[in-house]
């Protein structure tokens, strides 16, 4: 099992460009999450999908959209990238049926916006 796979690992964009970050999990998990990690600010939730077919905003959703394509895949889209969106993006998943199951993280996507 690969766990949670994120692509790409690195990306450089120009301001105004669009980009989709991909995330897939092979653990048959119900819930999936997108976080951004900035120095000194921990992990902040952008969007989440509690189950297939549902998505909801987290703490910092502005400038992002998501799609829960199927149970395995949850993508994050930047429609018009801004320098403030330079960050490391992590996708996570959890089983969702046992409330005490932890979230499992992917390796992250390092995104720079010039």
Partner 1 sequence: GENVEQHPSTLSVQEGDSAVIKCTYSDSASNYFPWYKQELGKRPQLIIDIRSNVGEKKDQRIAVTLNKTAKHFSLHITETQPEDSAVYFCAASNTSGTYKYIFGTGTRLKVLA
**Using CB under 8 A as the criterion, which residues of the chain lie in contact with partner 1 when the complex forms?**
31, 33, 40-45, 48, 50, 56, 58, 90, 94, 96, 99-100, 102-108
Least separation in angstroms between residue 94's CB and partner 1 is 6
CA dihedral for 80, 20, 88, 12, sign (positive or negative): negative
CB of 15 to partner 1, least distance (A): 26
Cβ distance to partner 1 smaller for residue 4 or 78:
4
Q: How far is CA 9 from the centre of its chain?
A: 12
- Between residues 5 and 17, which has the closer beta carbon with respect to partner 1? 5
Task: Pick between residue 51 and residue 67 the one whose CB is nearest to partner 1.
Answer: 51
For CA atoms 70, 18, 40, 107, give the dihedral sign. positive
Count of beta carbons in the 10 Å neighbourhood of residue 90: 22
Smallest distance from the beta carbon of 109 to partner 1, in angstroms? 11
Residues in contact with 12: Cβ distance below 8 Å, sequence separation at least 6, in sequence order: 111, 112, 113, 114
17 vs 95, beta carbon nearer partner 1: 95
Contact assessment for residue 91 and residue 83, using Cβ atoms and an 8 Å cutoff? no
For residue 92, the minimal CB distance to partner 1 (Å) is: 8
């Amino acid at each position: 099992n690969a766990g949670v796979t994120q692509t790409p690992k690195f990306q450089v964009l120009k301001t105004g460009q669009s980009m989709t970050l991909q995330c897939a999990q092979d653990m048959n998990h119900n819930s999936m999450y997108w976080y951004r990690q900035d120095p000194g600010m921990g992990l902040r939730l952008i969007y989440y999908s509690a189950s297939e077919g549902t998505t909801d905003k987290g703490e910092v959703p502005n400038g992002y959209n998501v799609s829960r394509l199927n149970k395995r895949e949850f993508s994050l889209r930047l429609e018009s990238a801004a320098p403030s969106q330079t960050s490391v993006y992590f996708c996570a998943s959890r089983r969702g049926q046992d409330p005490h199951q932890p979230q499992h993280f992917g390796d992250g996507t390092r995104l720079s916006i010039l």
